[in-house]
Structure 1
Amino acid sequence: MKYQTVDLVTEGKTATLYLNRVDSLNAMDVQMIQELTNVLKEVSASEVKLLFITGRGRAFSAGGDLKTMLSNKDDTGFQPVMENIKNMIVTLYTMPAVTVSLINGAAAGLGLSLALACDYVMAEKQSKVAMNFINIGLVPDGGGHFFLKKRLGEHRAKQVIWEGKSIATNEAFQVGIVDGVYEGDTEEQLELVKQKMEARPLKAMIASKLIFSKQELPLLMDTLNLETMNQLEMRRTEDHREGVAAFLEKRAAQFKGE
């Protein structure tokens, strides 16, 4: 199937999925979210046993596309988009393949949630990550709460979510947000990891993955449902409107907790 916002390159039982909205730093609009959902389902149903995810251009993904949010002020279409996000994340988390995200440039918001849904998360040394929903008065979605709590524990996860700041790769590695750091060209790193992983007993690795994912899926589903409910509520707040206005006007937001 031909996609417009993502590219899938398959070689035998290994596939690489490129986010490809280069002019928007791979920000996820409605079309990209739908295409990501579709392509991940396609990969999950195939013979692929090793999947890499990275971004074309200067970023892994800047997160959700703000223009999409602004064009949907009355919440029309909100539920279908959130259902697609839920399907996208669950499909990736439960996929019968070992998944590796390679963060090039920035991975923010929903983009970071997507990266964290993979089994291995690697980041280029100069890249940055951010769970930055708080800066526009929203809560993380895409299972962001679930994945950060898994990696950091509840207390530190709350701090990362509440601060909403960009975190340099070295710090992200030290605290456990990412699993490895690499320097230089992402394609070269992808090839190195591919060679190492293809020499591993992938079938046994996938069996262990599926044991864990089946155990944890109910909690992930609960988290995604709670995120959807709270995201809708937060979209209706004054703080969200102020956060978006401040972002567009390139100024500091003046939140009131309302």
Structure 2
Amino acid sequence: MYETVLYEVRNATAYITLNRPETYNAFTEQLNKDLGSAVKAASRDDSVRVLVVTGAGKAFCSGEDLGGVSENMDHGEVLRSRYNPMLLEIERCEKPIVAAVNGVAAGAGMSLALSCDFRVASEKASFVEAFIHVGLVPDAGNLYFLPRIIGHAKALELAVFGEKVSAEKALNVGLVTEVYSHESWEEDVSLFADRLAKLPTKAVGLIKRNLRASWSSTYQEFLERDAQAQRIAGKTDDHREGVQSFIEKRKPLFTGK
């Protein structure tokens, strides 16, 4: 289906695997295109309730493939034409997206992880703001998400010094949600995805939407967004199931509808 990603749906979860292990899953124009298309397909598939993005082999994603970088390259145009469409597909997706960071996430690979809703990491994973080492600025939405996740001061520190952040340190600063052992990695990622898949998917999407809007809304505007979102959520099957299960004193069985 795709040249540079593997796509598989299991247990209501779409597993999207960057598949250029010989380059540590470095981005090319084709990988940008394939990843965006895969996210779009999962967003439109009613059987999918969670997306997991990970990397084949030892790395999550090492960033842009420097083998394709030329002296006359317009880096801004590369971002506009290749990265932005991919990132906007991720942003538009109202289903939870998990970055399963199995190894190094460097440069634009770190940006990709930041653009996802959750980050879980292997104990062998690491994060590197590699841009500064080649005289560039963190891009692909990196500096939009990073301070929102870990705060301004720590974001500036990581971006300016470009030092490797271990999985343990990433957990300590709030960059990742969980760190899993290498031996149980695949099982633990599946369990995390399954946990998300059992939630009321429409409500999760509305939570994502309102959290994004909170950064640019006045309090009065946001209260109206509250009302609009709750009206939508209140009409879902999952809301009715939640109320009924409470009355019947049992665990709810959400269907994502």
**TMscore range, shorter length:** 0.7 to 0.9
Q: 2: distance between equivalents of 1:199 and 1:31? A: 33
RMSD of aligned alpha carbons: 2.0
SS of 1:74's equivalent in the other structure is: coil
- 2:226 corresponds to which residue? none
- Residues 77/147 of structure 1: CA separation in 2 closer, same or farther (3 Å cut): closer
1:210 partner letter: R
1:179 partner letter: T
- Residues 12/110 of structure 1: CA separation in 2 closer, same or farther (3 Å cut): same
CA deviation vs aligned residue, 1:9-50 (integer Å, no higher than 9, x gap): 123642010000010110111211122122222222332221
Larger Rg: 2
- 1:118 corresponds to which residue? 116
- Name the TM-score, length of structure 2 as normaliser: 0.77
The alignment status of 1:209 with 2:213, answered yes or no, reads no
Q: 2: distance between equivalents of 1:37 and 1:216? A: 25
- 2:168 corresponds to which residue? 170
CA displacement at 1:78 relative to structure 2: 5.6
Q: Which moved more, 1:91-100 or 1:37-46?
A: 37-46
CA displacement at 1:74 relative to structure 2: 1.6
Q: 1: distance between equivalents of 2:63 and 2:75? A: 18
CA displacement at 1:91 relative to structure 2: 1.6
The alignment status of 1:194 with 2:199, answered yes or no, reads no
Give runs of aligned pairs for residues 48-63 of structure 1, distance below 5 A.
Answer: 48-63=48-63
- Name the TM-score, length of structure 1 as normaliser: 0.77
Q: Which moved more, 1:3-12 or 1:95-104?
A: 3-12
Checking the alignment, whether the CA contact within 8 Å between 1:134 and 1:162 is kept in structure 2 is: yes
Give runs of aligned pairs for residues 98-247 of structure 1, distance below 5 A.
Answer: 98-184=96-182, 185-215=184-214
- 1:24 corresponds to which residue? 23
- 1:41 corresponds to which residue? 40
Q: 1: distance between equivalents of 2:214 and 2:19? A: 33
Q: Percent identity?
A: 30
- Residues 191/13 of structure 1: CA separation in 2 closer, same or farther (3 Å cut): closer
Checking the alignment, whether the CA contact within 8 Å between 2:79 and 2:140 is kept in structure 1 is: no
CA displacement at 1:129 relative to structure 2: 0.7
Deviation above 4 Å: which 4+ runs of structure 1?
214-218
Q: 2: distance between equivalents of 1:217 and 1:51? A: 26
CA displacement at 1:76 relative to structure 2: 5.8
CA deviation vs aligned residue, 1:129-151 (integer Å, no higher than 9, x gap): 11110000000111110111101
Which runs of no fewer than 5 residues in structure 1 stay unpaired? 219-258
CA displacement at 1:204 relative to structure 2: 1.3
Task: Figure out how many residues of one structure are paired with residues of the other and give that number.
Answer: 215
Q: Which moved more, 1:50-59 or 1:148-157?
A: 148-157
Q: 2: distance between equivalents of 1:76 and 1:160? A: 25
CA displacement at 1:152 relative to structure 2: 1.9
SS of 2:39's equivalent in the other structure is: helix
